[in-house]
């Protein structure tokens, strides 16, 4: 049996904690059942954004065809994937060396607790005084026959060849981002969603505009449809569903799980050590500590606290490591966190939605406008762009901002900075921005 002061499970945000603990003189170990590096660097936002970049170039060429661009870009999925691999392939080795150089013992395998202060990984038993669970998320179980026939986002990001058609089960981030990518490479994409609207956490008006843009690109979006089972015959998948009480079947060359993710903790035997969990993950307090086991901390997608976003996980890791090393003294304060759908065009948000503001009966002005005729959109012949900004009538503070269009994923950070620092809309409106930029449009949104 090997003994440590701290054992961290997960090499994404968990690496931050492990390095801080090792730097503080704690004998530290880290475990991952996947290649070292974490979801974002290997299986999530980083490689995905590389593919999005390729799709954006193709889209921009199409938009400007006949407007100074005479030959639209033709995408090569094989070459794009090779380019993507240039980012992902060095990560595990580099991360492993980085951890070992910090004096951290590394283990590759699935961690399962066998007692309150010990766990097993492969054939080894490791013991520690404190543990951190930070091993990310996995696709949410659909509990339908044939769901094992679906590939997940990790497998999608490893596809070396694209089929003629792909169907996405679920209408969230993954579906809209991946469908927009493959559509630019000539794939017939279909999104099947059980709700009345996809991307339910984003502004409804902007989502409608994004849906329209997707449909004009050839992406089929089917709503109010519940997938009941999946079968395969002769290399084709059949997606059996119900729509308004009627049975409906879709056929496709490839089906992808895009119906949400959940904490990857199911087989860790957490019940054996009294760790309370729920649908989202490990139940933690504001110190990132388990509410039922004081020796366990959890951060990132593995806990039930914050948003499943990389910068959120990093902040949680910093808070957790400080509390683990010095005792609980700092509570997490997320503020208003911006988030994006890296579709083509991108959709961004921060703060309250109009729906939330109305539910809370807030006295606010709602500025909403289609900006496809604004200069910043017209210069690139963008087919769709818009904004919606909510301003408190009593305090003049910005309550929420929602953007659709080129560079929305960047411009939203200005609104996040303003909201989190209590800046009044009038103060932001008086700011002189570099022009002509998308950021300079902010003053016209207030």
Which of 211, 234, 259 is at the close of a domain? Answer: 259
Which pLDDT score is estimated for 61?
A: 94
What distance in Å separates the CA atoms of residue 372 and residue 304, rounded to the nearest whole number? 39
Contacts of 361 (CB under 8 A, 6+ apart): none
Q: Are both 266 and 255 inside the same structural domain?
A: no
Q: Give domain status of residue 230, yes or no.
A: yes
Q: Does residue 231 belong to any structural domain of this protein?
A: yes
Q: How far is 286 from 92, CA to CA, in rounded Å?
A: 31
Tell me: the pLDDT tens digits for 371-418? 999 999 999 999 999 999 999 999 999 999 999 999 999 999 999 999
CATH number for position 156: 3.50.50.60
Tens of pLDDT, residue by residue over 269-297, are: 999 999 999 999 999 999 999 999 999 99
Domain membership flag for residue 319: yes
Same domain, 232 and 271: no
Dihedral class, residue 435 (left if φ above 0, else alpha if ψ from -120 to 50, else beta): beta
Quickly state the pLDDT bin for 307 (edges 50, 70, 90). confident
Taking a C-beta distance cutoff of 8 angstroms, is the pair 197, 206 a contact? no
- pLDDT, one tens digit per residue, over 412-421 is 999 999 999 9
The mean pLDDT value of the chain amounts to 96
pLDDT of residue 136: 94
Domain that holds residue 309: 2-139+262-326
Residue 320 sits in the same domain as residue 398: no
pLDDT digit string (tens) for 186-214?
Answer: 999 999 999 999 999 999 999 999 999 99
* Claim to verify: residue 134 and residue 13 sit in the same structural domain: yes
Q: What is the pLDDT of residue 70?
A: 87
In this prediction, residue 308 carries a pLDDT of 86
Asked if residue 336 is part of any domain, the answer here is no
CB 174 within 8 A of CB 199: no
Q: What is the pLDDT of residues 315-363, one digit of tens each?
A: 999 999 999 999 999 999 999 999 999 999 999 999 999 999 999 999 9
The CA distance from 347 to 162, in Å, is 25
Evaluate the CA torsion angle 44, 47, 49, 51 in order and state its sign: negative
pLDDT score for 295: 97
Share of the chain above pLDDT 90, in %: 97
User: Residue 112: CB partners within 8 Å, gap ≥ 6?
Assistant: 119, 120, 121, 267, 268, 269
Q: How far is CA 74 from the centre of its chain?
A: 28
Residue 278: CB atoms within 10 A of its CB come to 9
Same domain membership, residue 151 and residue 99: no
Provide the phi-psi class of 131: left if phi over 0, else alpha when psi is between -120 and 50, else beta.
beta
Q: Is residue 334 part of a domain?
A: no
Burial of 101 (0-12, 13-18, 19+ CB in 10 A): exposed
Claim to verify: residue 44 and residue 193 sit in the same structural domain? no
CA angle 298, 303, 306 (to 5 degrees): 115
Which residue has tokens 């008086």? 430
CB atoms inside a 10 Å sphere around CB 329:
9
**141, two tokens:** 């179980």
- Whether the Cβ atoms of residue 317 and residue 17 lie closer than 8 Å to each other: yes
Alpha helices (H) in 64-157, listed in sequence order: 77-88, 91-101, 153-156
DSSP 271-283: GGGT--B-SSSB-
Contact, 268 vs 293, CB < 8 A? no
SS3 (DSSP) at 61? helix
Q: With CA atoms as reference, report the closest residue to 364 among 401, 338, 394, 329.
A: 394
Summarised one tens digit per residue, pLDDT across range 58-87 is: 999 999 999 999 888 889 999 999 999 999
Domain final residue, candidates 297, 326, 355: 326
Claim to verify: residue 151 and residue 13 sit in the same structural domain: no
Residue 152: band (very low, low, confident or very high) from pLDDT cuts 50, 70, 90: very high
296 or 308, which is more confident: 296
pLDDT of residue 73: 86
Total tally of structural domains belonging to the chain: 3
The sign one gets for the Cα dihedral 44, 47, 51, 52 is positive
Domain stops at, among 259, 284, 316:
259
> How is the beta sheet containing 188-192 ordered, strand by strand?
220-222, 188-192, 165-169, 254-257
170 lies in the same domain as 211: yes
How remote is the C-alpha of 225 from its chain's centroid?
24
Residues 129 and 116 in one domain: yes
Nearest one of 211, 213, 232, 231 to 223, comparing CA atoms:
211
CATH number of the domain residue 356 falls in? 3.30.390.30
| pLDDT given at position 71 | 80
Task: Answer yes or no: do 233 and 251 share one domain.
Answer: yes
**Are residues 134 and 25 part of one domain?**
yes
My answer on whether 254 and 300 are in the same domain is no
């Amino acid at each position: 049996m090997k003994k440590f002061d701290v054992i961290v499970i997960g090499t994404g945000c968990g690496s931050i904690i492990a390095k801080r603990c090792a730097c503080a003189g704690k004998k530290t170990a880290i475990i991952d059942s996947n290649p070292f590096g974490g979801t974002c660097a290997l299986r999530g936002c980083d490689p995905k954004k590389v593919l999005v970049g390729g799709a954006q170039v193709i889209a921009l060429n199409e938009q400007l065809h006949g407007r100074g661009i005479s030959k639209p870009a033709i995408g090569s999925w094989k070459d794009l994937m090779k380019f993507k691999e240039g980012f992902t392939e060095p990560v595990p080795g580099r991360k492993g060396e980085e951890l070992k150089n910090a004096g951290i013992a590394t283990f590759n395998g699935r961690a399962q607790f066998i007692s309150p202060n010990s766990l097993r990984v492969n054939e080894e038993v490791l013991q520690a005084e404190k543990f951190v669970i930070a091993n990310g998320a996995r696709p949410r179980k659909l509990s339908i026959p044939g769901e094992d026939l679906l590939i997940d986002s990790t497998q999608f990001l490893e596809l070396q060849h694209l089929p003629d058609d792909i169907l996405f089960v679920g209408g969230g981030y993954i579906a809209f981002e991946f469908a927009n990518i493959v559509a630019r490479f000539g794939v017939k994409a279909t999104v099947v969603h059980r709700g009345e609207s996809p991307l339910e956490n984003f502004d409804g008006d902007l989502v409608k505009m994004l849906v329209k843009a997707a449909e004009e690109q050839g992406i089929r979006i089917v709503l109010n449809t519940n997938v009941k089972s999946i079968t395969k015959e002769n290399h084709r998948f059949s997606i059996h569903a119900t729509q308004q009480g009627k049975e409906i079947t879709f056929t496709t060359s490839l089906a992808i799980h895009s119906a949400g993710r959940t904490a990857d903790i199911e087989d860790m035997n957490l019940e054996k050590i009294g760790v309370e969990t729920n649908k989202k993950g490990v139940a933690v307090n504001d110190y990132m500590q388990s509410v039922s086991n004081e020796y366990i901390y959890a951060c990132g997608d593995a806990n039930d606290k914050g948003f499943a976003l990389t910068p959120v996980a990093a902040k949680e890791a910093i808070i957790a490591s400080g509390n683990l090393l010095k005792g609980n003294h700092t509570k997490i304060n997320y503020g208003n966190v911006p988030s994006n759908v890296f579709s083509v065009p991108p959709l961004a948000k921060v703060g309250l939605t109009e729906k939330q503001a109305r539910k809370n009966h807030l006295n606010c002005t709602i500025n909403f406008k289609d900006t496809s005729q604004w200069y910043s959109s017209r210069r690139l012949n963008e087919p769709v762009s818009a904004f919606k900004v909510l301003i408190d009538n009593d305090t003049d503070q910005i309550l929420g901002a929602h953007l659709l269009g080129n560079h929305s994923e960047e411009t939203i950070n200005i609104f996040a900075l303003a909201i989190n620092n209590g800046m009044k809309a009038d103060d932001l409106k008086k700011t002189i921005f570099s022009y002509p930029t998308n950021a300079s449009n902010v003053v016209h949104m207030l």
